[in-house]
Amino acid sequence: MPLSDEEERLALVLRTLGIDEDCWRRFVVGFGAECAPGEESLAKRISVLRQLWHSISPHEAPPDNSIDYDRRCLVCEASCVEVVATRRQAGDLPLVYGACGNCGLGILLRKTTEGSIYDRPEYYLRQDGDRAGYENYLTEQNYRETKGRRLIEWMLARAARPLQTLLEIGSGFGFTRAAGEQLGLATSGVDLNPYAKQIAQVIYGFDTFSGTLTEALDTKAISAGSADVILYQFVLEHLENPEDELRISSRVLSRHGVLALVVPNMQSVEREIFGASYRSFRRDHLWLFSPGSLNILLERAGLRMIAMESECNIGLLRPFLTEEELRRLNAGCRAADLLVIAEKT
């Protein structure tokens, strides 16, 4: 029997947070006992949610005093990086995340020694115990095409000139490219995973360059100044040096071309509430960005911010906050994902 909408939403919440139903029910009931509807301020309800979750979270690990890390921020260079979350994971050692007290950049302070996971078919077939990868990515085709269309419409509405070509880095199976083609854009893609190239060819007939953007430039598969739009959709957080990547992207953009980014938000209310359970704390996320850190990175790459917003497709906070409060958090860049569009100067 098909799941009801409420059952599907609950399943998504449990999968996103990596918890069981009992944990979520205790959280919801506990919040109801602490906060009568409409009787507490937004700040008070967020504080209650944070304290309540910390008391029941299955992911909070004791502080790891053995870790040695550089307090100097890669982006703003201020020496004020501090540990903000220690998360239990499937391996022996917990994940440790820090944050810059100046620009807000989130930093994975203990990195895995495992080789790249992005060039294997398994990355799109199953999620591992530390939440890296996807559970049968192909089944999400309709959802991701629809989401991609909304994203491209958002970009087109904010660009200062008509756009004709789109290059997506980390284009996967081509779901967002398909949405772009439907909206009249000529698209191309770059992806590390040969399996993603194969599936995009089978589904849509798309050709995808297998490798990095640097390799595509070096082999002349992509030319400097050729793209009106370059899109990174949940890619930048995986890269060892996001600043270098953005500089390369700027070379590929046409005159007054635009760069679009979707990245996890270190300064989101979800991160504040769920702490070590935050959905973007995972071993393949080297960085979590903030409005301040993105502004610095874009400026260094010769890009000017046009617009920045945030969104949360999953709606983890919908049972606790009003729709108007959620809209204000989105507009104030406090939701889980940051959406950015910048123009080449």
CA distance 126 to 255: 40
- Residue 1's pLDDT is what? 55
Distance CA 209, CA 225 (A): 17
What is the SS3 assignment for 221?
Answer: coil
For the domain made up of 142-344, give the CATH fold.
Rossmann fold (3.40.50)
CB 198 within 8 A of CB 171: no
pLDDT tens digits in sequence order for the chain, 345 residues long: 566 778 888 988 998 898 999 999 999 999 999 887 667 899 999 999 999 999 999 999 998 878 889 999 999 999 999 999 999 887 678 899 999 999 999 999 976 655 567 778 888 887 776 667 787 788 889 989 999 999 999 999 998 888 999 999 999 999 999 999 999 999 999 999 999 999 999 999 999 999 999 999 999 999 999 999 999 999 999 999 999 999 999 999 998 899 999 999 999 999 999 999 999 998 889 999 999 999 999 999 999 999 999 998 788 999 999 999 999 999 999 999 999 999 998
Q: Are 200 and 145 in contact (CB under 8 A)?
A: no
Residue spans of the domains in the chain: they are 5-56, 142-344
260 Cβ partners below 8 Å, 6+ apart?
151, 155, 229, 230, 231, 232, 339, 340, 341
Q: How far, in whole angstroms, is CA 180 from its chain's centroid? A: 20
3-state helix, strand, coil in the chain (%, to 5): 40, 20, 40
| Degrees to nearest 5, angle at CA 279 with 276 and 284 | 90
> CA–CA separation, 178 vs 185, rounded Å?
9
Q: How far is CA 228 from CA 128, 252, 263, in A?
A: 36, 9, 20
- Burial of 309: CB neighbours in 10 Å, binned 0-12, 13-18, 19+: middle
pLDDT at 314: 81
Rounded to 5 degrees, φ, ψ at 121 are -55, -35
d(CA 285, CA 263): 10
Task: Return the CA Rg of the chain.
Answer: 20
Look up the pTM and report it.
0.93
Confidence at residue 45, expressed as pLDDT on a 0 to 100 scale: 93
β strands within 79-226, DSSP E: 81-87, 95-100, 106-108, 165-169, 186-191, 208-210
Hey, what amino acid is at 113? T
What residue type is 91 in one-letter code? G
Q: How far apart are alpha carbons 190 and 170 in whole angstroms? A: 6
Distances (CA, A) of 173 to 139, 177, 193, 204, 283: 11, 9, 10, 9, 23
